Structure formats: C-alpha cells, structure tokens
C-alpha cells in the first residue's frame, strides 16, 4: 500500500507475517509436516532451539462485528462448543507428541479468538484440565487471554486467575455506546466498567485495553472521550489499532457489492487520532512499546508473545484456521468447522496449507515485524542472518529518511512518530518484487 493512500478502501493493511498469506498453499504442507515431525532446529551459533509458544483459537462470539475478518461463529449451541473443546483437546494431545516440541517448556501461551471468554467458567476449567493432561505452561512467562467485556463475570475472572492467566486483554474498542452499536459490538460501555472492577480485584499482573481508531461513526469528540476514559482506568498497557477493511467484513461486502463510499475515517484522520492518544498517554507516564502499544511501566510489562514471535520463535497453532510457525516453516490449520473437527475425529492433525520460506524471506519477516516496535538493531541481523540490512536496502532507508519516516546509522534504525503511525504502509517496500503487488491474505 502506498504511503499516499488516504481513503480506507477494502484490502488488508495490517502486516503480521511474510511471505503474504495468499502465497501459502496445500503443496507447502509437506514441508510443514516435516518440520513438525522433526526435532526443533538449533540455529548456527546457538546452543538451544528457539523459544516455543502455543496459540489456542476459541472461535465463538456473541455477535460478529461488522469489521471482523477472523474465523468466528455466532450460531453455535452448547453441544457445538463441547464438540469444539473436545476437538481442541484432541489436537493438543496430538501436538504434545510431535518431535518439534523437543521437551521445551512453553515460553508463552495465547488464548485468542473469536472470544475466548465466551466459554463459561466450567467449560474453561474443563478445557484446561484436558489440556494439562498432555501439556503444561507452568514455566511460561506469559499466558494471555482475550476477553469481550460483556461475557465476563466475577466468578469467570477468578477462574481465569486460578488457571494461570497472567495477562488479560480486554476488547473495549471504544467507550461510545452509539459507536459500539453501529459497529456491531456485543458489549456497551457499562459492561466495561463492571468487568473492570472484577479484573482489578482479581489482581492480574498485566491488563491490556484494546482500542480501535476509526470505527464507523467515530468523531474527534468521541475519540477524545474514549482516550480520557482509558486514562482514568490506567491499564498496564493500551493497544490501539487503526481500523481497516479486509475483504470479508460486513462493511467491505457492502462497499464492494453496493458500491457505497467507505464509512471508515480516512488514514490521515486515524493517524491523527492515534497520535493524540499517544500524546495523552505519554503525558501520564506511558511509554511507546510499538506502533500500536503503550505501557505504563516498562519494567513490569513485557510482551512475550509479540517479542518472541517477532524474533523467530516457534509457535504451535491449535484451533480452527489458526496460524503457526515451526523451525522456520509456516502453516495454517483447516479454516472451516467441518474440516477441522473431521480431521481430529480421524485422529489427524488438521493442517490445511503451508509454506517454507527461503532464508532471505525469513530475514525479511523478522525485519519488518521488528520495525513495528519503532526500532531495529542492525547487528542482530548481521549475527543471525549474516546480512547487513543497511547495505542491502540502503536506497529504501534513505528514501524513508528523506520522507521523515525514520533515522538511521550503521547500527540502528529508529522510526519517527510519523513513520511509526504508518509503519504497515512502509513495510511492503522491503518485500521481494513478486510479493509487492499480490493480495496479502
């Protein structure tokens, strides 16, 4: 995407991996299976394999947000939930036997969705009990659990604390009820405050609030109020995404099918809103941790999931449509219910597609992901990939420096605030030529 783009058009903007997901294929599954069935690789110059993480996808939601593009289900009954939990437990059992595990403890665990907190306290306890029959995360430095405020209760929050969750991420998105309703969110602001009291009482080590800049119906007054209310709650971290419209959202289908104008604020407006939020939070002592995240206390809060994944860790993906990374090979699980559950009923891993990146593509992947933190340690890439990224992309660095996006020297790259706010628009400049014009997802 060009840095001159202003309107929020249909298409993926947020970059979370490389090569683009559209380039992964069924033919790439052989490499993925081989990686999963072999001991973890030990990189040259290292004595141990990469850290190991676990992702669990819980695909249920009370409602589907109009901007949502994830694999979620809003029409499943209690029996369906039990079917899925059983399938996920079976998948964990199969994963626990894979050679890729290599007797490594999980460095981080992430319950994502969907809405993991859609599950009842009883269902959560049952799931974790079944998981622990084959794995444990006792040594994990971070166990993250995503929550939708309206699905929470005090007993459920206490259950999450007892199950070892260390980081709770609360999907607030906005504090304006009219905006929440317009965008199809299942909760209203009153439920945020109710849940916040329970969360605070439970004493989680790290609580994050998610916001989205650019929701349909948002205004400057509404955004300032949302930021002020976030500041009042004083969470350990705040994550702010800029609204995008991938191809399979309700809003995107309306734009493409009915040829309506984009209902989402343009990119300059969204960047201005995030810039304002960064300034307001910085004035209260928060520090910028990435293009999306601010933290209240850098000594207390780290992001194990993010930082390990962006430095090439292994991630074992479980659940329908989830994405994993094993010994440098990408893979994705079956993207639909029948394929996922059916494979596990047959006792098979529910793998759908994969891709084995080249060494250069792995370099690009780590570099563009780490750029999202706003900083790049050039020597890291010299040591790990034997490549001087400053020389390799010197023309790109110079152009971005001239554009006011970043500064650099021989050892480091530092994004300016201007560059940080549009980092996802900058990253395709580092893609290989064959991937710059293709659909990302």
Higher pLDDT, 192 or 255: 192
Distance CA 294, CA 321 (A): 29
pLDDT digits (tens, 9 = 90+) for 334-363: 999 999 999 999 999 999 999 999 999 999
Domains parsed from the chain with CATH numbers: 1-20+359-441 (1.10.10.920), 21-309 (3.80.30.20)
> Closest Cα to residue 239, out of 203, 290, 163, 301?
290
pTM of the model as a whole: 0.95
Distance CA 173, CA 404 (A): 30
| pLDDT at residue 302 in the model | 84
165, two tokens: 């969750």
Q: Does the pLDDT of residue 1 top 50, yes or no? A: no
C-alpha distance from residue 371 to each of 22, 90, 182 (Å) = 22, 37, 34
Burial of 168 (C-beta count, 10 Å sphere; 0-12/13-18/19+) = buried
Distance CA 306, CA 283 (A): 25
Q: Does the pLDDT of residue 286 top 90, yes or no? A: yes
Higher pLDDT, 6 or 175: 175
Q: Among the listed ranges 166-170, 273-277, 375-379, 435-439, which one has the minimum average pLDDT value?
A: 435-439
Percent of the chain with pLDDT over 90: 84
Q: Among the listed ranges 84-98, 257-271, 314-328, 399-413, which one has the minimum average pLDDT value?
A: 257-271
Q: Please tell me whether the peptide bond between 205 and the residue prior to it is cis, using omega within 30 degrees of 0.
A: no
Q: Does the pLDDT of residue 411 top 50, yes or no? A: yes
C-alpha distance from residue 189 to each of 173, 185, 197, 229 (Å) = 10, 11, 13, 10
DSSP state of 285: T
pLDDT digits (tens, 9 = 90+) for 203-262: 999 999 999 999 999 999 999 999 999 999 999 999 999 999 888 888 888 888 887 788
| pLDDT at residue 211 in the model | 98
How does the average pLDDT of the chain come out, rounded?
A: 94
| Helix (DSSP H) and strand (DSSP E) numbers for the chain | 18, 15
User: Helix, strand, or coil here: 310?
Assistant: coil
16, two tokens: 């979370």
Tokens 């949502």, residue located = 68
Distance CA 437, CA 354 (A): 21
Percent of the chain with pLDDT over 70: 99
Q: Does the pLDDT of residue 20 top 80, yes or no? A: yes
**5: pLDDT confidence band, cut at 50, 70 and 90?**
low
What average pLDDT does range 293-312 have in this prediction? Answer: 94
CA diameter of the chain: 59
pLDDT digits (tens, 9 = 90+) for 132-186: 999 989 999 999 999 999 999 999 999 999 999 999 999 999 999 999 999 999 9
| pLDDT at residue 194 in the model | 97
């Amino acid at each position: 995407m060009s840095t001159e783009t202003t309107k929020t058009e249909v298409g993926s903007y947020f970059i979370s991996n490389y090569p683009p997901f559209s380039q992964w294929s069924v033919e790439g599954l052989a490499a993925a299976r081989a990686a999963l069935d072999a001991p973890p690789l030990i990189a040259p110059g290292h004595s141990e394999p990469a850290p190991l993480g676990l992702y669990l996808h819980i695909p249920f939601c009370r409602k589907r947000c109009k901007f949502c593009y994830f694999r979620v289900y809003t029409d499943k009954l209690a029996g369906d939930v039990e079917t899925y939990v059983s399938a996920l437990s079976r998948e964990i059992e199969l994963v626990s036997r894979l050679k890729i595990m290599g007797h490594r403890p999980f460095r981080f665990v992430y319950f994502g969705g969907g809405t993991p907190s859609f599950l009842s306290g009883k269902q959560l306890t049952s799931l974790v009990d079944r998981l622990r029959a084959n794995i444990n995360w006792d040594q994990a430095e971070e166990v993250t659990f995503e929550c939708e405020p309206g699905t929470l209760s005090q007993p459920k929050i206490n259950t999450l604390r007892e199950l070892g969750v260390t980081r709770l991420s609360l999907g607030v998105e906005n504090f304006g009820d009219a905006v929440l309703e317009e965008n199809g969110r299942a909760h209203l602001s009153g439920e945020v405050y109710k849940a916040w009291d329970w969360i605070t009482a439970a004493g989680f080590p790290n609580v994050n609030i998610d916001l989205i800049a650019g929701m349909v119906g948002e205004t400057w007054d509404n955004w300032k109020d949302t930021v002020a209310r976030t500041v009042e709650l004083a969470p350990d971290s705040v994550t702010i995404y800029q609204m995008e419209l991938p191809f399979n959202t309700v809003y995107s289908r309306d734009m493409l099918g009915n040829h309506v104008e984009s209902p989402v604020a343009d990119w300059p407006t969204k960047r201005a809103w995030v810039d304002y939020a960064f300034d307001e939070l910085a004035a209260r002592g928060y520090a910028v941790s990435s293009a999306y995240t601010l933290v209240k206390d850098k000594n207390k809060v780290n992001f194990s999931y993010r930082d390990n994944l962006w430095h090439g860790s292994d991630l074992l993906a479980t659940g329908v449509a989830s994405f994993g990374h094993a010994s440098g090979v990408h893979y994705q699980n079956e993207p639909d219910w029948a394929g996922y559950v059916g494979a596990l009923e047959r006792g098979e891993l529910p793998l759908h597609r994969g891709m084995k990146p080249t060494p250069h593509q792995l370099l690009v992947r780590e570099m563009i992901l780490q750029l999202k933190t706003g900083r790049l340690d050039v020597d890291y890439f010299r040591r790990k990939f034997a490549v001087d990224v400053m020389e390799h992309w010197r023309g790109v660095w110079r152009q971005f420096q001239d554009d006011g996006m970043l500064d650099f020297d021989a050892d480091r790259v530092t994004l300016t605030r201007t560059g940080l706010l549009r980092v996802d628009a900058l990253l395709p400049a580092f893609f290989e030529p064959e991937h710059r014009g293709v659909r990302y997802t």
